[in-house]
Amino acid sequence: MLLVDDQILFVESLRTVLETRAKDIIVVGVASDGEEAVQLIADLLPDVVLMDVRMPKMTGVEATKIIKDRYPQTRILMLTTFDDDEYVIEALQFGAVGYLLKDMPPMELITAVRAVYEGGVLISPRVAEKLVGRLVQNSELSTSSSVEEEPEWVKDLNSREKEILRMIAMGYDNEEIANRLHMAKQTVKNYVSKIYCKMEVKDRVQASLAAIKAGFNEMINT
């Protein structure tokens, strides 16, 4: 994986943590800004990039857009001290598959990196809460001036699927959803697959954004 952060002490400490506590994670390089990250990606082709948001020369959000355009298979996990909802929305729209805060415990970060490598999508609960709030507000503003027709996929979802989609939008993973709804994890996975198919989306990020933009406001707040 590639680490991208302009705080040298932090990124070197992070590299040490990953290399000593996770033998299955190999750090192939370190970049100090988005510009350098874009250059290193071409040579190193890492599977996962751990990307800071606010950096000189080129921000992590700008770098994410370029990297995903050129190397769509690269999975980018945003890591920052700023739980700024505007950055969250923009980074996810550009293709980031996770957004975590730097104050999370090391082993949780390692677990997140592994999950992202395996194809998962992760958003810190604190970030998810702000993201939902921001998108709901935007949705209310956009629908106050014009009434939009409800997407067909909303009509195709049954009540259980809508309940699970609401929890996906709140940042819960399959195991957490299973525990809260007293269901088997495999059953939840089956539901999630059906939801993605009906919505014609590929992952949790796309599902969350589409759900809230479609006017799931009342579901989010219940």
Position 208 confidence tier, pLDDT thresholds 50, 70, 90: confident
Q: What pLDDT is attached to residue 149?
A: 65
Reported as a single tens digit per residue, the pLDDT across 74-85 is 999 998 887 666
Asked if 210 and 89 count as a contact pair (C-beta separation under 8 A), the reply is: no
Beta bridge partners of 49: 2, 76
- Burial (CB count <10 Å: 0-12, 13-18, 19+), residue 155: exposed
Position 220 confidence tier, pLDDT thresholds 50, 70, 90: very low
Q: What total of structural domains would you count in the chain?
A: 2
**End-of-domain residue from the set 123, 149, 179:** 123
The range of the structural domain enclosing residue 66 comes to 2-123
Hunting for tokens 């857009």 — which residue is that?
Answer: 65
In the sheet with 2-4, reading across from the earlier edge strand, the strands are 29-31, 2-4, 48-51, 75-80, 98-101, 122-123
Reported as a single tens digit per residue, the pLDDT across 25-61 is 999 999 999 999 999 999 999 999 999 998 988 999 9
Are 58 and 152 found together in one domain?
no
Considering all CA atoms of the chain, what is the largest pairwise distance in Å, rounded to the nearest integer?
Answer: 55
Beta bridge partners of 3: 30, 50
Reported as a single tens digit per residue, the pLDDT across 1-11 is 999 999 989 99
* Nearest-10 Cα torsion for 21, 103, 124, 174: 30
pTM across the whole model:
0.69
Are 133 and 108 found together in one domain?
no
Are 100 and 8 found together in one domain?
yes
Are 102 and 199 found together in one domain?
no
Over range 170-177, report the average pLDDT.
80
**End-of-domain residue from the set 123, 138, 153:** 123
- Output the domain CATH number for residue 65: 3.40.50.2300
